[in-house]
Amino acid sequence: MLIEFTVSPVGAGESLSADVAAVVDLVDRSGLPYVLTPMSTVAEGEWDELMALVKRCHELLRARHARVVTAIKIDDRQGASGRISGKIDAVEQKLGRRVNRI
């Protein structure tokens, strides 16, 4: 299963890099495969471990801010794994060339 998620404090000002760094540290320490993008984080794993990770990330920022918005997009494909890069690999194969990756 892949999830794409963002955890955003509301009213925290213009720069969020310190909060993003704290969340990314939590994601990195989870041991799950992930990719940080400029707008979100994509992680791969099983339902329970992914939801627990998102909950920990949300709670981390909630402890620091009065209001937090968390958005989650789920791609659940039976029997699939290695999809963080595999989905991009499939597109590149069809194009016959590499695309710009993060």
Residue-by-residue pLDDT tens, the chain, 102 positions = 999 999 999 988 788 899 999 999 999 999 999 999 999 999 999 999 999 999 999 999 999 999 999 999 999 999 888 888 888 889 999 999 999 877
All domains of the chain in start order, with CATH: 2-95 (3.30.70.930)
Q: Is the pTM of this model over 0.85?
A: yes
Among 26, 32, 67, 66, CA closest to 46: 32
Sheet holding 41-44, edge to edge: 34-36, 41-44, 2-9, 68-75
- In whole angstroms, give the CA distance from residue 65 to residue 8: 10
